[in-house]
Every structure is written in C-alpha cells, then in structure tokens.
Amino acid sequence: MAHFTQDYLDFFKELAANNNKDWFHGNKKRYEASVKKPFEEFVQDIINRTSELDDRFVGEAKKAVFRIYRDVRFSKDKTPYKLNCSAIIAPGGKKEGMGIPGIYLEMGPEYFRFYSGLYQPEKEVLYQVREYIIKHSAQLNKLVVEKEFVEKFGELRGDKNKVLPKEFKEAAAKHPFIFNKQFYFFAEMSPEVTLKDDLADVVMDHFHASEPMRNFLTKARGL
C-alpha cells in the first residue's frame, strides 16, 4: 500500500503558485491529511526499518522531520513555506544532523532525493576525517568506483578548500578528497517514485547500497 496519494504532489504544485499564508491556512486540513500525516508515518516506517539493522537509528518521526515553514529572516525570498518535505533519519535525528551518516530525504513535486554522508562537519571532525583518508586512501578509492555506489549515487561530492593546512598539502596531491570540506552523495529520482507502493523498499535499497561509504565515513570521524 502506498504511503502517499497524488494529492501529496499536487498540494506542493499548487502551493508553489500560492505561497502565502491565506492560501495555506485555507488548505491546512488538506495539508494535514495529504502531506504532514503520511510523511510522518512514512518516516517512522523508515526509522523502524533502519533501527532493526542499527539500533542507533531508533527514534520518533517528529524528531526527524523538518517543519514546512521557511526561515526568512536572512533571505531575500520571503515566501513562507517550503515546497517539499524533508527529514534526517540518523542517530539524534535533525537535532544532531548527520554526525553519524544516515539518511536525508527530500520529497517534492520536482524530484525525490536520498542523501547521505557528512554534510557540514565541524573543524575538528574535518581534520579527523582528512587524517583518516590519508591512512585509508586505498579503501576510499575502491569505494567511490564500486559498481552499486556509482550506479545509484554517481560520485562522492562536497565543496573543496582551495588552501589547506600545511600538514595536509603534500598528501592532498596524492589524495584529492582531502581538499573536500564535505563528503556527501545522493540519488535523484522522479517525483512519481513518491507514489509507489514499494517506496519504503526503494529507500531501504539505497540505504543498503550506501552502507560501505557510510561505514567508512563513520569510522573516519571516530564513531
């Protein structure tokens, strides 16, 4: 049985053309029924499935799901609502971010995305990860060309530093990933995937495919 109906996608399409409080309040019950409730139930389903494989992933959907309201304080774009639902399924949920690489899901009318990795590691963590890469570069080089990883995620991504601390400069010439400030990857699928009966299976398939890289990055940050 599918978690979502066509109205999940239609709601966001209509919201894009009517991104204001009056329209949203007039469609609040529809939002609750077609978007908020099914998304929370779906996220809880994924939490339950991942926690069976790794008990650090246990938790409640409400601690994983992001609010639909945009923070417009420092943005030129003052539209009040996001045009998708998103959640972090990882130890600590959205509060802890992805300290231990888990899943970030983003589901809207333009695409369905599955993310994982280390997105914004703190300075000390980044230093630790770079040291780990130097010692285990051969393993990382194998992981990024592994067939299933490439087929599903393409590549290991992340913004890069132009200048490195002096202790990393020599190693970076041999191991370019040391320049990375982030280490993440994602799969993008059509929005219609959201309506599939086996959507949870699709997510778990990507979760399994991401496991070798997630394990590497988890060890790299000393966890």
Domain-located, residue 15: yes
| Integer Cα distance of 213 and 210 in angstroms | 6
Higher pLDDT, 14 or 54: 14
| Integer Cα distance of 155 and 66 in angstroms | 26
> What SS3 class is residue 85?
strand
pTM, rounded to two decimals: 0.93
Contact 96, 121 (CB under 8 A): no
Query: What digits encode the pLDDT tens for the residues 102-129?
Result: 999 999 999 999 999 998 899 999 999 9
| Integer Cα distance of 119 and 85 in angstroms | 19
User: Angle at Cα 169 formed by Cα 163 and Cα 172, nearest 5°?
Assistant: 100
Q: Quick one: which H or E segment has residue 21?
A: helix 21-26
Query: What digits encode the pLDDT tens for the residues 40-60?
Result: 999 999 999 999 998 888 889
Structure token pair of residue 201: 């299976």
Contact 89, 100 (CB under 8 A): no
Domain-located, residue 188: yes
Above pLDDT 90, what percent of the chain? 85
Selection from 79, 80, 81, 85 nearest residue 108 by Cα: 85
Number of folded domains in the chain?
A: 1
pLDDT of residue 56: 87
Tell whether the model's pLDDT for residue 91 goes beyond 90.
no
**Domain that residue 58 falls in:** 6-220
pLDDT of residue 97: 63
| Integer Cα distance of 91 and 101 in angstroms | 9
Selection from 125, 115, 48, 108 nearest residue 88 by Cα: 115
Tell whether the model's pLDDT for residue 98 goes beyond 70.
no
Domain-located, residue 1: no
Domain-located, residue 77: yes
Burial of 129 (0-12, 13-18, 19+ CB in 10 A): buried
Count of CB atoms within 10 A of residue 155's CB?
11
> What SS3 class is residue 64?
coil
Domain-located, residue 22: yes
Domain-located, residue 58: yes
Identify any residues that bridge with 85 across adjacent strands, giving them in sequence order: 107
Domain-located, residue 115: yes
Which region among 94-98, 156-160, 201-205 has the lowest average model confidence (pLDDT)? 94-98
Query: What digits encode the pLDDT tens for the residues 135-149?
Result: 999 999 999 999 999
Query: What digits encode the pLDDT tens for the residues 25-43?
Result: 999 999 999 999 999 999 9
Q: What is the pLDDT averaged over residues 61-73?
A: 93
Higher pLDDT, 183 or 95: 183
Domain-located, residue 72: yes
Residue 96: pLDDT band by 50, 70, 90 thresholds? Answer: low
